A and B are shown apart, each in its own frame.
Chain A
Amino acid sequence: KAGVTQTPRYLIKTRGQQVTLSCSPISGHRSVSWYQQTPGQGLQFLFEYFSETQRNKGNFPGRFSGRQFSNSRSEMNVSTLELGDSALYLCASSLQGSDTGELFFGEGSRLTVL
């Protein structure tokens, strides 16, 4: 079956700009969670959506937001980009929620902020 698809894979932005990342989960999965990965902090939870509702949110500023559509596809948006937002952004889908078992990750979107 098709895996989790993230687009774009790579992008370069400048400070102050905004960015939107997209994630298509595995068919039938209702949960999509987003993570930020940096060399110093590891995988940090951003938020999770389940059947179009935000289920939980990590400790990130309000510049980070997301949404989920009725087909379970999800987007995350980062506004007013800062240099520290440079990271690999990963999304993961699961059948019943990120805390209940196996997560299927996409290959990530690598964001560089100049």
Chain B
Amino acid sequence: EDQVTQSPEALRLQEGESSSLNCSYTVSGLRGLFWYRQDPGKGPEFLFTLYSAGEEKEKERLKATLTKKESFLHITAPKPEDSATYLCAAPLTGGYQKVTFGTGTKLQVIP
């Protein structure tokens, strides 16, 4: 069964303390791996799409990478405004034209 699993569920960092969020997937024939950021009470906001193992994308303090089994969202020297829930998602295979989301990692960056 296609599945996307995120870890940890929650992460608390001091400002400037770099870390990584993990997204492992069991989707065969991956057609893309998406990262989103969601602030409380708002809809998710698109960050990155990764298509093939070895691909990397960066945006400010965030860098997303992809291997054959998982994706990482690296946060370098985070600031309090990076606090949010980070979601990863992947399109399902088997002709199902829909996306499955992980349950997210809630990141809190403390000043």
Contacts and interface: CB of A to CB of B under 8 A. Distances in A.
B31 A99 contact: yes
B24 interface: no
Interface residues of A, number: 26
Interface in A30-73: 33, 35, 41-43, 45, 48, 55-56, 58
Interface string B15-53: 000000000000000011010100001111110010000
Interface string B78-111: 0000000001010110001111111110000000
A104 B104 CA distance: 18
Contacts of B49: 101-102
A110 to B, nearest CB: 8
Contacts of B102: 42
Nearest to A58: B98
Contacts of A92: 43
Interface of A: 4, 33, 35, 41-43, 45, 48, 55-56, 58, 90, 92, 97-108, 110
Given A43-B87, A99-B91, A103-B99, 7 more contacts: A58-B98, A98-B91, A101-B32, A102-B46, A103-B36, A104-B46, A107-B42
26 contacts: A41-B103, A42-B87, A42-B101, A42-B102, A43-B44, A43-B87, A43-B101, A45-B100, A48-B98, A55-B97, A56-B96, A56-B97, A56-B98, A58-B98, A98-B98, A99-B32, A99-B92, A99-B99, A100-B91, A101-B32, A102-B46, A103-B44, A103-B46, A105-B43, A105-B45, A107-B42
